[in-house]
Amino acid sequence: DSGVTQTPKHLITATGQRVTLRCSPRSGDLSVYWYQQSLDQGLQFLIQYYNGEERAKGNILERFSAQQFPDLHSELNLSSLELGDSALYFCASSGGNSYNEQFFGPGTRLTVL
């Protein structure tokens, strides 16, 4: 158990809808990273927050957004969903003694029908 929690575990929705994925980092970690994992693209970095502020952006679509709250949990919002958005979404957290080490949550499996 990495100490990172994600909810929900599974999410099934329809095209055009909007969903919110939630992540709680390990105790004491200030950084939260979001990744998308699909069969053809592997693990793709989406966005990073550090202590409530956006710090880095990767291959994140404009339809996607994220935020980190004062209690350090983070939410990833996916809107106008398309079939191709079906994937596993992971968050990871880092901090403490080594900001390089990222610890992943169990993921949210999103299925868009």
Partner 1 sequence: QQQVKQSPQSLIVQKGGISIINCAYENTAFDYFPWYQQFPGKGPALLIAIRPDVSEKKEGRFTISFNKSAKQFSLHIMDSQPGDSATYFCAASSYSGAGSYQLTFGKGTKLSVIP
Binding site for partner 1 (CB under 8 A): 2, 4, 30-31, 33, 42-45, 48, 50-51, 55-56, 58, 90, 92, 94, 99-107
Comparing CB distances to partner 1, the nearer of 2 and 17 is: 2
Minimum distance of partner 1 from residue 44's CB (angstroms): 8
Minimum distance of partner 1 from residue 45's CB (angstroms): 6
Buried-state track 38-62, b at ≥16 Cβ within 10 A, e below 16: eeeeeeeebbbbbeeeeeeeeebee
Minimum distance of partner 1 from residue 6's CB (angstroms): 8
Comparing CB distances to partner 1, the nearer of 44 and 79 is: 44
Cα gap 90→96, rounded to integer Å: 20
Cα gap 29→23, rounded to integer Å: 12
Comparing CB distances to partner 1, the nearer of 79 and 88 is: 88
Q: Which DSSP category does 3 fall into? A: S
- Six-digit token pair at 1? 């158990």
